[in-house]
Amino acid sequence: MVEISFPMSEASRHRGIEAAPTYLNLTTPFFHCIIQPLIPADKLAVHFHDTYGQALANILVALEQDVRTIDSSVAGLGGCPYAKGASGNVATEDVVYMLHGMGMETNIDLDALVDAGSFISNVLGKESDSKVARAMLAKRI
């Protein structure tokens, strides 16, 4: 089972260490050489913004290394106040869709998640940054 924790900073205080590289592409060699020898996977959480479209690829590398705590944001909302131009966190809808496609159990109802993201995006007057949500909502019309 994959756990998606909100907010990650609170979860990481209780679980272990959070890897949150805003501009980093988390490659398998980087993970093997630097992170994995120092931190057990069950004590590591990942938090990725999708500024360069690499968040899902980075999450996949983390999953391959047995990391099971992933930070994400409904509709990809948010940002990074100290990293100029950074987008919001990776959209939870996109992460859940990928995990379900990989056969991983999340106990998350993707349709309900898309509805929640659509609701908050409408309240904020902002389009969802989730590619999955946009595709699923377009099919409903």
pLDDT in tens, the chain (141 residues): 333 333 434 444 444 444 444 445 555 666 666 666 777 888 888 888 888 888 898 899 889 888 899 999 999 998 777 777 778 889 999 999 999 999 999 999 999 999 999 999 999 999 999 999 999 999 988
Catalytic residue among 41, 57, 60, 80: 80
Is 80 an annotated catalytic residue? yes
Cβ atoms of residues 75 and 41 within 8 Å: no
Q: In what order do the strands lie in the sheet with 3-4?
A: 3-4, 69-71, 44-47, 17-19
C-alpha distances (whole Å) from 22 to each of 34, 50, 118, 136, 141 are 17, 9, 25, 28, 35
